Amino acid sequence: MVVFGSTGTAGQGAIQACLAEPGVSEVRSITRRPLGISHPKLREVSWSDFANLGGIAHHFKGADSCLFCLGTSVRNVKGEAPYREIHVTYALAAARTLLAESPDASFVYLSGSGTKRTSSMMWARVKAEAEDRLAELKLARLANVRPAGILPMQPTGATRWLLAPLLKMVPPLGIRSIDLGRAMLRVGLDRSWRGSRTLENKDLKALIQEA
């Protein structure tokens, strides 16, 4: 299992889900900074240039799936170009490397609720572009997951006092990070389908309930 974005809100849930899953023998985390955790199944692969993965391509060989959880808020970047680099360029680099090294593996892309090419919101248009361009690669299995709000594993501040209670009262507003990770892992390990599929927040929660 290859995981990108392991230090982020979604990625932390994905890492924990993978480490807890008996069917996953090894988790290869492609990261710029240490995760700060230790586990017999965890292998950290330190790399800084996510647009060029040739130097670590061998870490993709033999992988069942790649969970691409890398991402950031539009508040953390200056304009559309850097946002596109993270969500489109890096995603395509990871998908192409996976396709070259493990052509039958699944690629699970962290998109977002509201993703649409014609949206008035820049982030939604960029993620829609990423979904479209990933589909053009003809991966064995491509899953675009579109969670709403993501509750961190250890929420603090307004997230703890606002989002957590809201999710209990209105579940469609989001999903817990660990549940998102479990859903991404489940769809990534599922070999009963081929092609591409899109899972909205309700679909992700349904996957967990079925487990």
Assign 92 a pLDDT band (cuts: 50, 70, 90).
very high
Average pLDDT value for the chain: 91
104: left (phi over 0), alpha (psi -120 to 50) or beta: alpha
pLDDT score for 152: 64
pLDDT score for 149: 80
pLDDT score for 198: 97
pLDDT score for 74: 86
Contact 196, 29 (CB under 8 A): no
Assign 209 a pLDDT band (cuts: 50, 70, 90).
confident
* Average pLDDT of the residues in 113-128: 95
* Average pLDDT of the residues in 155-178: 64
Counted residue by residue, the chain has a size of 211
pLDDT at 48 over 90: yes
Report how far residue 8's alpha carbon sits from residue 65's, in angstroms, rounded to the nearest whole number: 19
Entry pTM? 0.91
Q: pLDDT tens digit string along 7-30?
A: 998 999 999 999 999 999 999 999
Report how far residue 104's alpha carbon sits from residue 126's, in angstroms, rounded to the nearest whole number: 27
64: DSSP letter: S
Q: pLDDT tens digit string along 138-160?
A: 999 999 999 988 876 555 555 55
pLDDT score for 73: 85
Angle among Cα 183, 74, 33 to the nearest 5 degrees reads 65
